[in-house]
Structure formats: structure tokens, C-alpha cells
Structure 1
Amino acid sequence: MKHIDYIIVGDGYAGLFFAHQLIKHNKSFVLFSEGRKSASQVSAGIINPVVLKKFTTFWKAQEQIDFLKDTLAEIESYTGKNYLISSPIHRIFHDENEQKLWLKKSGNEELSAFLDQKFDHLEVVKNDFNTGKVNQSARLQVNGFFMDLFDFLEKNELLIKEKFDYGKVEASEGIYKDLQFKNMIFCEGMGVKENPFFSDIAVVPNKGHHIKVKLSEPIPEDITIKKKHFLFPTDNGLHFYGGTYDREQLHHHVDESAVAQLVNGLSEIYPYDFEVEEVNFGFRPTVKDRRPIIGRHGTYDNLYVFNGLGARGILNGCYFSHSLYQFIEENIPLHEEVSSDRFK
């Protein structure tokens, strides 16, 4: 029987950022991955402190941005790469009223660090009313991040590539098959609905599609463009455009109406020919109050859940992995706003 501190079940942002906390603090662990692409792995990787519909920010935005930068620098110490792409978001304005609202909001104390007061005009794409730049926005190099971290875990014998079997968990003894564990963390996204220990948590699936397109005329490479959706270059010469939000069409195949919505949205801002080369979708685990769900099992105090990261998976996964670690190891209470107890 092998003795370890932690078992992590799940291989998205929650699982990998929590694994980083364990690496950083020299804890022994294994991470279970089925090897299927999670919603995290097909995500856009947008790091954005502003809600771009209403030009507002959100709880702990600056703290989360700062913490992410520090964490990615720590991860660089063992993967040799930093996955932060400096590619600020340029939000295309619909009309003059949006320009005025942006300028008004940029005077707010909580938004002044994020909303640039100087407007820009972009080449190639339609932006009759110019664009506003979101300072401190960026992207994560999603493929590299997951590939390199899985590679690191595998080389260090920390990765178990198999479907996790809930029936083999002896929680009161802290045993799973031939592993004796102190704590088990479930970070499964929508997979939690099959988890008998936490299937009742209040996460709701939100299906998101994106397309990868070949553009006939190049756009600026060092920015991320946003109107209805995000547009930016990928590693292989294509451009990412997406993603949609759908709580109704939850089947496990491509929804052609979502693809049509994306093609129309891109056509609105890009007046040249383009070809759709690829379509992807995933199911974001979302929560009614837009905060993660983190907590300890009601009966077994060695089982924990870390879920509900929603559309801000990178920022939420990074920042709250540290909160969960402190909760378990240092008995520091979770923020009421993210604790699973808030639904009791």
C-alpha cells in the first residue's frame, strides 16, 4: 500500500492549479485523468478583469490577476516556460453611447486600472466607433500549459491515466485501491454529477462552442479582439473565434445553430473571406451566484470538492486553489462567498 497526502480527481484548471499548490509545498499526490479533453482544455484561455457587456469588474479581480502572474512564474520554475501571452483585449464599441459609458466607468476607482482612456482604431476588422483596451488582460497558452504540466506529472509518476472508480473509495479508512490517502479533492467540472459524494452540488452546465478559422486577410497578431466573441491567433496559423453560451442544447455533439451564430458574429466584424477549419465545444460548470463551490464533505472530512469555476476558470482555479490548500492544511476558513456551506 502506497501512502500519499492527496488524491486529485480531475484534470482541468482546478485540478492542475491545486496540483501546483501541492508541488510548491512538497506534498505527495497523484492526479487521475481520463485523458479526454476537458472544458478547460478547449477553453479560450482569456484572462480578463472586466465584464465586457456592462464594463464592470468582479470580486477580487486585481488580487486574482496578481496571484495568477506569481503562480505562472512559480510553474515556470519546473516546466521551463511561462504561459502568459501578452495580448490585451480590444473591445469593439457598438456605438457612441458605449464609448461614453466606457469613459465614465474608467473614472471609477475599481475600474481605472483596467479601462484604458485612450481609444484605438484597428486595421482590417470593422470598428467604426473604435475600440477600448482592457489593461492587464492577457491570454494563457492553453495547449502548452496542459501539455507541459501533464508531461511533468507523468515524468514524476504523479499522473494516473484511468477513469476514477468511486466504488473503490473507502473514505472512512482513507483508502482507494492500493493507495492510502490523507485527503481527496474532486475537481471534475460537470463530471461531478456522476460523483456519489458530491453529485448534489449546485453546478449547472453551460455549453460553449468555438470555431478555428483560416482568415484570408491577416489581423493584428498581438491583441485579442472582442465584440460578440473573442478573436485571436492560435499556434498553428488559424484563429480562434468564440465562445457561445447555451444552457438549453446540452447534447454531446456539435450544435449547428451555435456554429451559425459564430460564423455570423465573425462576419459582422471581419469583411473578408474565411474558412471554418475546426469546431469544438465543452461544458462549463457554472453556479447561480457566479462563484466557485469549494468545501468539505458533510460526513467524510477527508473528501473535498473544488468546482463551479465557470467562464473564469483560469483566475478562479488559480486563486482559489490556494484558498482550498490553506483551508485543509492551515485550517484557514474559506471565504463565505465560495464555501459550499452557503447553499445549506
Structure 2
Amino acid sequence: MICGITKISLDIYTKPEYFYSGFFIMKNIDYIIVGDGYAGLFFAHQLIKNNKSFAIYSEGRKSASQVSAGIINPVVLKKFTTFWKAQEQIDFLKDTLNEIESYSGKNYLISSPIHRIFHDENEQNLWLKKSVNEELSGFLDQKFDHLEVVKNDFKTGKVNQSARLEVSGFFMGLFDFLEKKELLIKEKFDYSKLNPSTGSYKDIQFKNIIFCEGMGVKENPFFSDIAVVPNKGHHIKVKLSEEIPQDVTIKKKHFLFPTDNGLHFYGGTYDREQLHHHIDESAVTQLVNGLSEIYPYDFEVKEVNFGFRPTVKDRRPIIGRHESFKNLYVFNGLGARGILNGCYFSRSLYQFIEENIPLHEEVSLDRFK
């Protein structure tokens, strides 16, 4: 037992099943996953946990998930509100990361609570007022703190149960595990080779296929019309001249925290207009100015990254089955809460497919019909 979670058996993956079809030997598996972001990897975990055979297709490019901040946050920090099923999602994520540790050898959860810098006394008072609300009392700490080095004249409020995921370690660790088990296929998925009527793709016979492609879904002929909108986010990695507290994640306009290579992450921006596939200098300027507001010392920008979050107008994921092909599914629209949404709703999708448990109306693809 690890943290109360039973170790997961991996025996099924050492003996792939084959059968003859004409002149070809075809691999027979339960699932194909297309996409290697949070949606794809957390759904893969559900399959590992339930001893299902699968293959996951990865183009080898860094997805929006892989350049994300990895923030795990149950509070909307502009208005000091929470969101649907926040506590359930936090609890489920912790259990899931414990389960992943049983085969990856590491727990990727970083205990680094968010400290929100207050703009003024009005924000302090609003925080305290909302901290007694039943749905927020477990998240908004009533004791204010003053941090060294950064500007926080009105102190900071700590978000209890907030944390970070070690993003690079999470993806490297799971990719390494999947590759060793020969479950990771490093190539672009070719839709022209998919025959959903026979449940076949190239030399693979499958029961179900899950498309977890983020904004790549717009190239998918089966789900290209789902209501996801790209939201471009930039972040910078900087070298600070004066060290800040290492055990917290600082937030005012954006998030600031240390990375594992001596640099600090600062970001990210939100942009639905400038959607070209290169760095937007105005976004970099926005980040540099935002960091300068809270960090009064010299710093040097060492790296700039960006990605396209798949967002939905009602801020809920899009999960469901194709209208005509009942073995095709989509898992998308995770938005800025990719870790929590990807983890929690991977189970919902698995139970929908395997146990015929209906999806929540709030996340079902059918809500757009």
C-alpha cells in the first residue's frame, strides 16, 4: 500500500494480444489515445488502473500542457470565488498522483501554496468576508502574511490546499514509463487510416479511441466542429538577482515561482486575438512590466514560451461520444485548469464508456446540440 492506495498491477502490458486478419497480424487492444497532454495522460492512468490495454499517439511536440505553469488552485483569484466541484477535484488529484507514484516511482505534487498579493485594504476585507463562506472557508486562510523581497505593502492571503505539479517531471516520468512498456507511439495520427466501422487503425484493432488533442482537434474530421476556442498564453523564465521565498507561489497579475534549474517562472498571459504561432512581443512586455511591479530588483529574461489553451465559453470541458461512430470519443476543452479538469473528468469518461454511467450535463458534448 502507498498512502492508502493499492499498488497497480502492470502484468497486462507485458503480453500484448494478437490475432490474424487476412495476411496481416493485427494488434488487438482496448483503446487508442490520440494526444499526450493532461487529458491523454490522465485518461491513460485510468486505463492502467483498470488493466486495459492501449496505445497513446504523441507527435513529439510540446503541447500547451507541457509548457503550462502546473498551478493547482481551487480559487478564482480575481474575485475570490471558487468553482464547480473544486474540493472534489483537489481530493481526487491527490489520490491519483499517489496512484501514479506506485508505477512511476515519484509523486509530482509540489507543496507550494499560492500567496495572493493584495492591491489594497478593500481586497483584504473582501478576502476576509468570503473566507467565512462555507464553500471557501477551506481555501482562504484568514491569517495574512508578509513576504520578503517582493513588494506586498498590503500583505498576502494564502490559498490553502493550493499546490503545483512538477510539470516537466510529470511528463518525462510518464513518457518514460509508457515508452518502456511500448505503449507510446511517436508519430502524428493519420485520420485517413482510421476505419471506425471496423474499429481498425493501420495494423491495430481497437474497441474505443479517445481524441485528446487540445486545439489540434480542429484538424480532426470527426470532431472539428466542437466549441473550443484557442487562448494563447505566454510565460517567461527569468534569472533573479535577489532570491525570493522558495516555498511559495506568488500571485498578483501572474504567477511567480522557482523552477528546478535556478530560474523562476512568471506567467501566464491570456490572449484570444493574437493567435499566430510565434512569440508576441507585446505579451513579453506585459510580463516584464508585471514582474517589475512586484520585484524591485534586476532580472534577466532567459526563456519565452507560449501555448494555446483549448477553452470553452461556459468554462467546462467537452466530453462525449461521436453521434454516428459509437467507438469514437472526445476529451477536450480543459482550459486553464488542465490538471484538475484532466484528472477528475478522466474518470467520468472512463465510467461513461465502461460502466454506462451518464456524463454530467455540464461537461457533456451533448449540451451543444
Q: Which residue of 1 aligns with 2:281?
A: 256
Matched, 1:229 2:251: no
- Name the residue aligned to 2:166: 141
Which residue in the other structure is 1:171 paired with? 196
Offset at 1:20?
0.2
CA deviation after TM superposition for structure 1 residue 269, in Å:
0.1
- What's the counterpart of residue 365 of structure 2? 340
What's the TM-score once normalised by structure 1's chain length?
Answer: 1.00
- State the distance in 2 between where 1:163 and 1:115 align: 44
By how many angstroms is 1:50 displaced? 0.0
Q: How far off is 1:157 after superposition?
A: 0.4
Superposition deviation, residue 3 in structure 1: 0.3
Deviation of 1:92 after TM superposition, in Å, equals: 0.1
Which of the residues 205, 212, 225 maps onto 1:187?
A: 212
The residue number in structure 2 matching 1:110 is 135
Q: CA deviation at 1:218?
A: 0.1
- How far apart are 1:87 and its partner, in Å? 0.1
Partner of 1:281: 306
Q: AA paired with 2:349?
A: L
**Whole-angstrom distance in 1 between the partners of 2:354 and 2:70:** 29
Counterpart Cα distance in 2 of 1:103 and 1:341:
40
> Is residue 2:270 matched to residue 1:269?
no
Q: Is 2:345 the counterpart of 1:320?
A: yes
Aligned ranges for residues 22-171 of structure 1 at < 5 Å? 22-171=47-196
Tell me the equivalent position of 1:238.
Answer: 263
Partner secondary structure for residue 235 of structure 1: coil
Structure 2 unmatched runs, 5+: 1-25
Q: Which amino acid aligns with 1:5?
A: D
**Cα distance in 2, alignment partners of residues 12 and 297 from structure 1:** 21
Partner of 1:306: 331
Kindly tell me the number of residue pairs found equivalent between the two proteins: 344
1:193 deviation in Å? 0.1
Q: 2:365 and 2:105 mapped to 1: Cα distance?
A: 36
- Give 5+ residue unaligned stretches, structure 1: none
* One-letter amino acid of the structure 1 residue matched with residue 183 of structure 2: L
Looking at structure 1, the residues matched to 322 and 75 of structure 2 have their Cα atoms a distance apart, in angstroms, of: 33
- Quote the Cα distance in structure 1 between the aligned partners of 2:53 and 2:151: 52
Could you list the structure 1 runs, at least 4 aligned residues long, displaced by more than 4 angstroms after superposition: none
Q: Give the TM-score of the pair, scaled to structure 2.
A: 0.93
The whole-number CA distance in structure 2 between the counterparts of 1:127 and 1:323 is: 41
Tell me, in whole angstroms, the C-alpha distance in 1 between the residues paired with 2:81 and 2:57: 37
Displacement of 1:198 after TM fit?
A: 0.1
State the partner residue of 1:206. Answer: 231
Mapped to 2, the partners of 1:183 and 1:252 lie a distance apart of 32
Once residues 55 and 139 of structure 1 are traced to their aligned partners in structure 2, the CA distance between those partners, rounded to angstroms, is: 19
Residue 136 of structure 1 aligns with an amino acid whose one-letter code is: Q
**1:323: Cα distance to partner?**
0.2
State the secondary structure of the residue aligned to 1:172.
coil
Q: Which residue does the alignment assign to 1:294? A: 319
Counterpart-to-counterpart distance in 2, 1:304 and 1:101: 43
Which residue type is aligned with residue 193 of structure 1?
A: K
- State how far apart, in whole Å, the 1-side matches of 2:331 and 2:88 are: 19
| CA RMSD after TM alignment | 0.2
Q: Does 1:215 align with 2:244?
A: no
Select which of 37, 40, 52 maps to 1:12.
37
Give secondary structure in 1 for the equivalent of 2:238: strand
Report the Cα distance in structure 1 between the residues aligned to 2:148 and 2:260, rounded to whole angstroms.
Answer: 22
SS at match of 1:164: coil
Offset at residue 111 of structure 1 (A): 0.1
Secondary structure at the counterpart of residue 289 of structure 2: helix
Percentage of pairs with the same residue: 90
Aligned letter for 1:177? K
Q: What amino acid sits opposite 2:230 in the alignment? A: P
Q: Secondary structure at the match of 2:197?
A: helix
Aligned partners of 1:242 and 1:318: how far apart in 2? 23
Question: CA separation in 2, counterparts of 1:55 and 1:320?
Answer: 24
Quote how far apart the aligned CAs of 1:169 are.
Answer: 0.5
Rounded Cα–Cα distance in structure 2 between residues aligned with 1:167 and 1:151: 29
What one-letter code is carried by the residue in structure 2 that aligns with 1:335?
H
Deviation at 1:339, TM superposition (A): 0.1
Q: Distance in 1 between matches of 2:304 and 2:240?
A: 15
One-letter amino acid of the counterpart of residue 90, structure 1: H
Q: CA deviation at 1:245?
A: 0.0
1:130 and 1:159 mapped to 2: Cα distance? 47
2:182, 2:299 → 1: CA distance?
44
Cα distance, 1:177 vs. partner?
0.2
Letter in 1 for 2:180: K
